[in-house]
Amino acid sequence: MNSEIISKITELKKKKNAIILAHNYQSPDIQDIADFIGDSLELARISSQVKEDIIIFCGVFFMAETANILAPHKKVILPVPDADCPMARMVDKSLVIETKKKYPDATVVTYVNSTADVKALTDICCTSSNAIKVVNSVETDKIIFLPDKNLGRNIARFVPKEFIFIEGYCPVHNFIYENEIKSAKERYPDAEVIMHPEVEPLIARYADKLLSTGGMIKYAKTVRNRKMIIVTEEGLIYRLRKDAPYNEYYNIGRDIVCQNMKKIRLIDVLNSLENEGPVIKVDDEIRVKAYNSIERMLKL
C-alpha cells in the first residue's frame, strides 16, 4: 500500500513542480520521501531558496508559516493543519506588547518556534543552533527572550547580558527527568550524552554536548565508532542511524515523542498534492514585519 502511495506522490510532485521539506522529527516514512530534511534553521534557509512552485511542509504550523514568510510567492502547504506547537501557543502578541512596555530598552529575541504575529513584534529571531550567536550580535545588554525559557536559560550561562524570560517551554523536552538521564548513563557508561537545549537547565548539566538536531547530525558525521545517548525527539535517531550508521545511538530508556510532529502520514502528503491544500498564508502586514526579524537572523 505504501509503495503505491509513494509512487503517486513522486508522480504528482514532478507533475506539479513541488518539493517536500521535512523536519528531523518526522516519522521515518515521511523522512524517506522528503527532498530535504533538517532543523528549523536549515529548513528556513531552504524555504528562502526554493525554486519549485509548491512547498509541501512536513512539520508543524509555525514552520509552514515561516516558509510562507520567506517564500511568499510559493504555495506553502501543511498536509495536516492541526499539527501545531504547544510552545508557540504559550506566547501571544498581547504578552509581547506588554513585556516590551515594561522593558522598552530591551531587544526582543524570539525563538523561531513561535507564531507569525509574535515574530512580527520581534527584533531578531533565533534557532536552537544559533541562539548564542544571535544574542551576542545585538547591541543592547538587556534581552527579552521568548517563548522557550529553557533554551533561554541554557544560553544565558554563556552570554554576559541581562535576560527577561517569558515562560514558555516545549512539553516534549521539558518533561525529561533527571532519573532517566542517570539511568541511561548507568546503562551506557561509555556513551556521550547529546541533548537538545530545550531541556531544563538542571537536565542540561548532564550533557556532554548541547546541540540542535542539525548540530547533532553534523557532529555524528564527524566522528566514528562512538556511542551516544540522544536526548531529543525520537525521529532524529532514525535519521542518525541512516546518515551516520558507523556510530551507536540510544534513547533514555523510552521514546521521546512529539505527537504533533507525527500527525502527518504518507496519505496526507498525497492528499495535499492532489488538492494543493491546506495552504498556509500569513497576512501581508504581519508577514513583512515577521520577515524582517527572520532575515536579520539569516544574515548572520
The 3-state DSSP class for residue 153 equals helix
CATH code (residue 152): 3.40.50.10800
Q: What angle do CA 261, 33, 43 make, to 5 degrees?
A: 55
pLDDT at site 141: 95
pLDDT at site 1: 67
In the chain, the number of structural domains is: 3
pLDDT at site 34: 97
* Nearby residues of 238 by Cβ (< 8 Å), 6 or more positions away: 28, 31
pLDDT < 70 positions in the chain: 1
**Residues 93 and 77 placed together within one structural domain of the fold:** no
Cell of 6: 509513494
Q: Is residue 256 part of a domain?
A: no
- For 192, the domain range is 173-250
Contact between residue 213 and residue 220 where contact means Cβ atoms under 8 Å apart: no
Q: Is residue 161 part of a domain?
A: yes
pLDDT at site 167: 83
Q: Is residue 255 part of a domain?
A: no
pTM value is: 0.93
Q: Is residue 229 part of a domain?
A: yes
Q: What is the pLDDT of residues 152-196, one digit of tens each?
A: 999 999 999 999 998 899 999 999 999 999 999 999 999 999 999
